[in-house]
Structure 1
Amino acid sequence: MDDQNKNLILATALSFVVIMLWFVLFPPPEATDTADMTAPETAQQTGQQTSEQGGDVAVAPGAADTGTATDTASAATAGEEPQQDDAPRIEIDTPELLGSISLRGGRIDQLALKDYRETLEPDSDIVTLLSPVGSEHPYYALFGWAPGSGLSPDQVPGANTLWEVETEGTLTPDSPIVLTWDNGAGLTFRREMSVDDKFMFTVTQSVENTGGDTRSLAPYGILARHGTPPDLKNFFILHEGGIRIVDGELSEIDYDDFEPASNHETIGVEQSAWTGFTDHYWMTTLIPEQRAGTKISTFKDTRREIFQTTAKQPTVSLGAGETATASTRVFAGAKEWETIRNYQNEQDVPKFLDSIDWGWFFFLTKPIFAVLHWLHNVIGNMGWSIIALTLIIKALLLPLAFKSYVSMAKMKELQPQMEKIKENAGDDRQKLQQEMMALYKKEKVNPASGCLPILMQIPIFFSLYKVIFVTLELRHAPWIGWINDLSAPDPSSLYNLWGLLPWAAPEPGSILALIFIGVLPLFLGISMWLQQKLNPAPTDPTQQMIFAWMPWVFMFMLGSFASGLVLYWIANNTITFTQQYLIMRSQGYKPDVFGNIKSSFKKKPKPEKK
């Protein structure tokens, strides 16, 4: 078997292993039953912060003293309060966000993303991010002060405090709102809430001691989520759940790995931190003031299925007439790469880009997406940007590919000498190896160099798949014609002759969809088949069968992959075909592509019967 065919078989085998491994590690998502989610329970005295009539809310941080703040659950009830639904609300209206803030606790608990819809349908609902207590899937941000020396839980604002509005109006980027609450025992609390034109809220809490005694208390922010998200993907390739950066170290906590509230770790911050929840495309995070002494905790109330992350800032002591102020930012929105990068670089949110799940090959996925994003800004279409990215990658690998193809051409020239060495060596394998190595050294040929471009493609393939799957910019991104979402499989199907027949294509993910492939997978199979035709078919019948079937096996296997990845592979095969054809001609070898195609359709003569 010549080395050209050896390398092609190696490429096929490696690709097959990659695909099989991918299907094992990253199986298609299972359908999620959203009907059986945990509903909020009626309030009761449980040693956790609740309203006697307002329903379950998050666990408040523990009491503060004159030194540090502890993290034991405190029994802080707000007394007889109205129902949650009766609390007045302040509207939120920005270029990107639509929602409201409840005066019950001053919670940010209604939020939707104006520019993102649930499906491709133009009349589809916009994406809902946060929901109040009493809804099907409560998810909200709240703030307060943990009591210290000289204070009881009902003397500090918490999850169910009914605030008053100091400044009327709608919360917009140009008009912040201010809430006030007087505890009737010498402390006056104010809360100023502002929002920018993207997804960042700033909550500034202040307290003034108008009494005569010294008081100590600690400001905190809480993100609480009742039950796991209804659209949880459960993909190995994607992290969804808790996420935090503490002093530069990234931690990702799956929902199954949340520690119970009764026994969870509290992490002290030395310089900087943020904490929150991340979904596939959306995220909510608390970003406290970047300073030492803040404590981060992430845990789960196992009885009520409430997931919670808390950022509690250092305890402050207030003498008579003194005022203390603390600020917490809240990111609640879409994981747009450019937006998150601006917050990281321009507003000093440490390592905020790591909130996007770049994976094990982050050293490749980050630059690959940065180039793809730049190309999209220039071209304006993500599909053509993927093709342009493929051209750039192939151009960078061209020196390696050229060396590989030249080496393969030289190996062909050396075939007569190699056959002679094999004849002379006979069964002496050591002599055969020594003489072969001497020949390679004399002719300056590296037989392994033909494998390098193949091996380089594997991490690039994984990285591009990761980029296409996790980044928001590929979600609902169209290319041409029927390809209206590059993050989803090709919606066309052989079942209805790719739209020519008057019935619908099979549902994506179904068995019929895997069998009746779309247009892009068909082009993928053809491109792989044409690439084979640069060389004559191997003489060995087994090899011929493998080569004949492999493009079409891959065509069906990759039919359920994201359209963007299949598009990349088609472009890669096409460019590789062109490169190899031109390099082979430059080395004096003229591939007979049409002749090889014709020979593949010729009937093989039947063996003569003896």
Structure 2
Amino acid sequence: MDDQNKNLIIATVLSFVVILVWFVLFPPPEATAPVDEVTLSEPAGGTAAAPSADIAAAATASTETEPTALDNAARVAIKTDRVDGSLSLLGGRIDQLSLVDYKTTLEDDATIVEILFPANEDNAQYALHGWAAAAGVDPTAVPGPNTVWELAAGDVLSVGKPVTLRWDNGAGLAFSKEIAIDDNFMFTITQSVENTSETTASVAPYAVLARQGIPPDLKNFFILHEGIVAMADGEYSETNWKDMPEFEYNQRAGARTEEKNVTENGWIGFTDHFWMSVLIPSQGTAFKAVAKYDERRDIYQTEAVSPVQTVAPGQSISNTSQFFAGAKEWAVLKEYEEAGVYNFIDAIDWGWFSFLTKPIFWLLHKLNLIIGNMGIAIICLTFLIKAVLFPLAYKSNVSMAKMKTLQPKMEKLKEEAGDDRQKMQEGMMALYKKEKVNPAAGCLPILLQIPIFFSLYKVIFVTIELRHAPFFGPFQDLSAPDPTSLYNFFGLLPWGAPEAGSVMALVFIGILPLMLGISMWLQQKLNPAPTDPTQQMIFAWMPWVFMFMLGSFASGLVVYWIANNTITFTQQYLIMRSQGAKPDLLGNIKGSLGRKSKKEPKK
């Protein structure tokens, strides 16, 4: 077998092996261990104090609520152009939210995506903001999860129209809570305490995000993180749902907890594939981030507890925090990050190759904004990537073309060396050195494609901008597998393709995977098949193995691969001809089909 074919086999097999290794051995990074306790700076208007375990426990000693209490509590509507829902006056909890712009499926009658649910419903998830009683303060003197608030101002929460809730403990402390929402997915909660008593009170502001059980629509796909996301002073961490029950049991909190002291900037919350709910204390201030699992009630919680503040008689204090609940749109998260939410763009699961996934997504996003079609944007992105890699591709193909012109000399060396393999290798190396040919040069561009392939796969799979992004015809969701197959006559018949990953899906392959296999097969035919029967068999099966393997991948990724193969084929063909090597494409195809190929003209 000539070295040109050997390089192609090595590079392709290596690509295949790396893909398998990636899918089997590389789960998302584990959550980092909590840092040691630190002393928090003195908050404005209060005394210096680190939020102790007592305060963290007191803040959420119980989020349990009687269903009838929620049923009977009044609600305040939430309505903007992007969200629809309500908050309950029981605890002042934000617990009902739908995303108007997003539907669960592409069907016309599909329901709107819901991300927050009241505690008396299945799949409950809600946010609570309040004050924890510090040492010496009666816990009943502060509002809790079951406190019924009074609506003091506003009737519908909307953009530019906040609502204010109020509760008086009857003992000299009056609590108020102003809740505002912007034109996207961010709530701003400003909590105040006014002390009209004759004694000083110490309280700590907190925020809790609680959910009942693990989300039922969990993807459980290793390339995607679902569970806790947190940022603590520049350190980003992830914790999977399944790992929370393994936290160390905290006797005071009555649950399994993991705590981390944040000195300045951070946030903590829950994420799934496309949606996220995150607690964001005022940036630039200290707080304790707590992840908690209560196995008695199967409750998962994240908490942000701020330092204790004291409010003197006749004085008042306040605390402002934010709560994000919505879609992980890149532009929206970037806007919040620029407005002060520290590293908020990292809430998107960029993966290990973030140095590639971030710029690749940025470029793809910009192309889509200009073109207006994500599929064409992917093809244009492929052209740009190939343009950047062209110098390497040129050197590689020039080397391959020279290898082809050296074929007669290599055959002569084989005849002279006979069975002496060492002599043959020495002669080949001398020939390569004399002709300035690098036999391994053909592998480099293919190897460079591997991290790009993984990064683009990550981008297509995790970013919401690809969700339900149309291309043309039957391809209306580039984040999903090809919806066409022989089973539905490539989308012409009125039923869907077999479910991805099923045996039927392997048998009834779609249009895009078929095009992928053909493009890879044609690229292969630029060179004659190797003479060794085993190598011939490997070459013959390789395009079709990749076709079936990638058939269940996101169709956007297959579009990229087809475009990449097509551009690579064109580059290689033109460069080889410019170097005097004339690929006999038709002859090689006939040869692979069992017909005798014509001899190449002598150089």
Work out the CA distance in 2 between the residues paired with 1:132 and 1:77. 16
Work out the CA distance in 1 between the residues paired with 2:65 and 2:588. 85
The sequence identity of aligned pairs, in percent, is: 63
2:157 counterpart (167, 171, 177) = 171
Work out the CA distance in 1 between the residues paired with 2:177 and 2:289. 22
1:71 counterpart (43, 48, 53) = 53
Deviations for 1:64-121, whole angstroms, at most 9, x for unmatched residues?
A: 9984332243496799997111000110001111000100000000001000000111
Work out the CA distance in 2 between the residues paired with 1:235 and 1:505. 22
1:441 counterpart (428, 433, 455) = 433
Deviations for 1:236-263, whole angstroms, at most 9, x for unmatched residues?
A: 1011001100000011011121124545
Work out the CA distance in 2 between the residues paired with 1:212 and 1:505. 73
Evaluate the alpha carbon distance shift between residue 93 and residue 156 of structure 1 in structure 2; reply closer, same or farther with a 3 A threshold: same
Evaluate the alpha carbon distance shift between residue 418 and residue 521 of structure 1 in structure 2; reply closer, same or farther with a 3 A threshold: same
Contact 1:149 1:215 in 2 (8 A): no
Secondary structure in 1 matching 2:10: helix
Map 1:231-246 → 2, pairs under 5 A:
231-246=217-232
Secondary structure in 2 matching 1:449: coil
Is 1:122 the counterpart of 2:115 in the alignment?
A: no
Work out the CA distance in 2 between the residues paired with 1:356 and 1:515. 35
Contact 1:65 1:149 in 2 (8 A): no
Evaluate the alpha carbon distance shift between residue 26 and residue 125 of structure 1 in structure 2; reply closer, same or farther with a 3 A threshold: farther
Secondary structure in 1 matching 2:76: strand
2:447 counterpart (448, 452, 455) = 455
Shift of 1:458: 0.9
**What is the aligned partner in structure 1 of residue 38 from structure 2?**
none
Deviations for 1:530-556, whole angstroms, at most 9, x for unmatched residues?
A: 111211222222222222222222222
Shift of 1:271: 1.4
**What is the aligned partner in structure 1 of residue 234 from structure 2?**
248
**What is the aligned partner in structure 1 of residue 92 from structure 2?**
106
Contact 2:8 2:443 in 1 (8 A): no
Q: Which amino acid aligns with 1:86?
A: N
Evaluate the alpha carbon distance shift between residue 550 and residue 179 of structure 1 in structure 2; reply closer, same or farther with a 3 A threshold: same
| TM-score, normalised with respect to structure 1 | 0.88
Structure 2 regions of 5+ residues with no counterpart?
A: 28-45, 598-603
Work out the CA distance in 1 between the residues paired with 2:385 and 2:65. 65
Larger deviation, residues 431-440 vs 87-96: 431-440
Is 1:319 the counterpart of 2:319 in the alignment?
A: no
**What is the aligned partner in structure 2 of residue 599 from structure 1?**
591
| TM-score, normalised with respect to structure 2 | 0.89
Shift of 1:314: 1.4
Contact 2:94 2:127 in 1 (8 A): yes
Evaluate the alpha carbon distance shift between residue 280 and residue 77 of structure 1 in structure 2; reply closer, same or farther with a 3 A threshold: closer
Contact 1:65 1:147 in 2 (8 A): no
Evaluate the alpha carbon distance shift between residue 440 and residue 380 of structure 1 in structure 2; reply closer, same or farther with a 3 A threshold: same
**What is the aligned partner in structure 2 of residue 285 from structure 1?**
278
Evaluate the alpha carbon distance shift between residue 106 and residue 123 of structure 1 in structure 2; reply closer, same or farther with a 3 A threshold: same
1:218 counterpart (204, 227, 238) = 204
**What is the aligned partner in structure 2 of residue 297 from structure 1?**
290
Secondary structure in 1 matching 2:84: strand
Q: Which amino acid aligns with 1:379?
A: I
Is 1:9 the counterpart of 2:9 in the alignment?
A: yes
Aligned length: 568
2:345 counterpart (341, 353, 376) = 353
Contact 1:285 1:331 in 2 (8 A): yes
Q: Which amino acid aligns with 2:115?
A: L
Secondary structure in 1 matching 2:523: helix
Secondary structure in 1 matching 2:157: coil
Is 1:181 the counterpart of 2:145 in the alignment?
A: no
Work out the CA distance in 2 between the residues paired with 1:561 and 1:80. 43
Is 1:529 the counterpart of 2:521 in the alignment?
A: yes
Contact 2:483 2:496 in 1 (8 A): no
Q: Which amino acid aligns with 1:539?
A: T
Secondary structure in 2 matching 1:264: strand
**What is the aligned partner in structure 2 of residue 43 from structure 1?**
none
Is 1:160 the counterpart of 2:143 in the alignment?
A: no
Work out the CA distance in 2 between the residues paired with 1:8 and 1:593. 16
Deviations for 1:335-385, whole angstroms, at most 9, x for unmatched residues?
A: 00111011111x111111111111111111111101100000000011001
Contact 2:159 2:180 in 1 (8 A): yes
Shift of 1:418: 3.9
CA RMSD in angstroms, aligned pairs only: 2.4
Contact 2:226 2:272 in 1 (8 A): yes
Work out the CA distance in 2 between the residues paired with 1:495 and 1:26. 34
Is 1:151 the counterpart of 2:137 in the alignment?
A: yes
More RCO (CA 8 Å, sep 6+) = 2
1:571 counterpart (555, 559, 563) = 563
**What is the aligned partner in structure 1 of residue 331 from structure 2?**
338
Work out the CA distance in 2 between the residues paired with 1:68 and 1:132. 32
